[in-house]
Structure 1
């Protein structure tokens, strides 16, 4: 039984995207790079990334707008110059909204494709995404890296099928507003919840409206990841109504241990899942074997790789992504 093709299969570290929206990512070249552009602009996800002076950044963007038929672009990935130590995402949102009439075929956006050498994830500043969602009612996929200044509106969006937040600390207000939104077509939802020191103050109570699934009738993948409250989340997931119709569940990159794993095994059946992602937690060998023996024979692909060194003092445990 193969994992869902459209569910992101990222490692537990933050890298530049190599694929997005099912397309290979191509960085629009700098002046010094004379590679030919693809004949079909819809065949790649275009990454815009430039690390020079403001004037050169503007020239870079002007070249992209002049060289690529925007009406054929299906996917965009934005890194620098809009995101970094001195830039927030408001300029990117404003620019994208102004281009909406020309980007008529746009289906997917990723905001903030930066790695640690460029900007730590907790330093990446986003903005209010309300204008963006209004400008692109046909958007099918949205990925956001970084959560500083991030605002998500309580919204009804008919087209969105994949929504992904990568952060070292996702604000509770964003979690609550996603949960209060009507997203009837949403199939894949990933939330990297993070730690309180970097703004990740969401509680299990904030997550519960998502776990009922009432506003997410099409959901088939749910990721509640990178959390120091992974055991509590697992206990809630074990009783959550939405789980019965999921095909894939991710509780990776956090502090899940035997307590949380036992809650999963003692709750509702998980044997209908195609994939269970428990990577990079604190599971011991005995519990990993028990999970494998319970779920793998039913056809569930259980990923328990990259387990962290056990810290009996829970204060020493950490999530995979924080600063």
Structure 2
């Protein structure tokens, strides 16, 4: 994850940019050998025209991976996703979509207006990977999708309606699920109760990676995960980026065994050194990524009284 650099690889393919600077006669790689990224800019103001140019220049019937970047001023009600949905019949082999590969310097993540993403899911029944950045106005109705393997929402404020939409969806092929919850100030009004169907795992029989991250209620998530049925069949678990404290880490240590995991990602946390050491010892056979604790610049953790915060909000 990086909000400071555009994707250079997506769905196992190198990213090829198509921007307003792309010359009409510029040589382009074979359509199916790259992930295409269509990106507008502030001065352009014509994402629809740029997308039309892209569809005319590239054999979209061979495109398997597509990245929608910044769509300029046309940002109301998920303009990027709506543009793609309107052209769905031109992309019969599309398998992976990223909507909103937008840098912080282009548009803050909390400003990205996604609107209802449900039509995109419905328009591409063969889709295997869907990643979305930005939570302003984001909507998602419960759905069934037989081919989706990876679903990811990166936000500074994930609406509870979207979390409940995911939780109520039937996703028999889903292997990877990542949710960035953010904070209430930017629309992140979820609670741990919204996660109950996900943690139960009945509608997610193939899930092997679960990321519940960037939450101001990260301790509550950790406590719920500690007894969640779905955890026993996970290979990787990510609970970082949020306000995870010693209380949440203690719940993980006292809960069900996590020694079957290949990796536990807790990067960006607010844990004390003693708790970090206990995690390393208890999970000696697991790759535990702790990174650096927030506030670790002070010499003694007992003296730390600074604020706790999530990694990504505005």
Check whether TM > 0.5: yes
Of structures 1 and 2, the one scoring higher in RCO (CA 8 A, sep 6+) is: 1
The partner residue of 1:292 within 280, 284, 308 is 280
CA deviations 1:72-113 (Å, max 9, x no partner) are 1011111122xx565135333332122222201100111111
Match of residue 27 from structure 1: 17
- Preserved CA contact (<8 Å) 1:85 1:123: no
The partner residue of 1:309 within 295, 299, 302 is 295
Partners of 2:191 and 2:62 in 1: CA distance: 42
- Preserved CA contact (<8 Å) 1:188 1:222: yes
Q: Which runs of 4+ in 1 moved over 4 A?
A: 32-35, 310-315
| Matching of residue 222 in structure 1 with residue 213 in structure 2 | no
Normalized against structure 2, the TM-score is what?
Answer: 0.92
The partner residue of 1:95 within 64, 74, 83 is 83
**Aligned-pair CA distance for 1:29:** 4.5
Match of residue 253 from structure 1: 241
Partners of 2:260 and 2:165 in 1: CA distance: 29
- Preserved CA contact (<8 Å) 1:253 1:279: yes
Map of 1:170-319 to 2, 5 A cutoff?
Answer: 170-296=158-284, 298=285, 300-309=286-295, 316-319=307-310
C-alpha RMSD over aligned residues? 2.0
Gaps of 5+ in 2: none
| Matching of residue 65 in structure 1 with residue 51 in structure 2 | no
* CA distance 1:97–1:86, shift in 2 (3 Å): closer
Map of 1:6-155 to 2, 5 A cutoff?
Answer: 10=1, 13=3, 15-31=5-21, 36-38=27-29, 40-51=30-41, 52-54=43-45, 57-81=47-71, 84=72, 87-155=75-143
- Preserved CA contact (<8 Å) 2:215 2:243: yes
- Preserved CA contact (<8 Å) 1:85 1:124: no
- Preserved CA contact (<8 Å) 1:195 1:227: yes
CA deviations 1:135-160 (Å, max 9, x no partner) are 10000000110111111111111111
| Matching of residue 166 in structure 1 with residue 157 in structure 2 | no
Normalized against structure 1, the TM-score is what?
Answer: 0.89
Partners of 1:89 and 1:277 in 2: CA distance: 33
Partners of 1:48 and 1:132 in 2: CA distance: 17
Partners of 1:229 and 1:215 in 2: CA distance: 24
Partners of 1:265 and 1:295 in 2: CA distance: 9
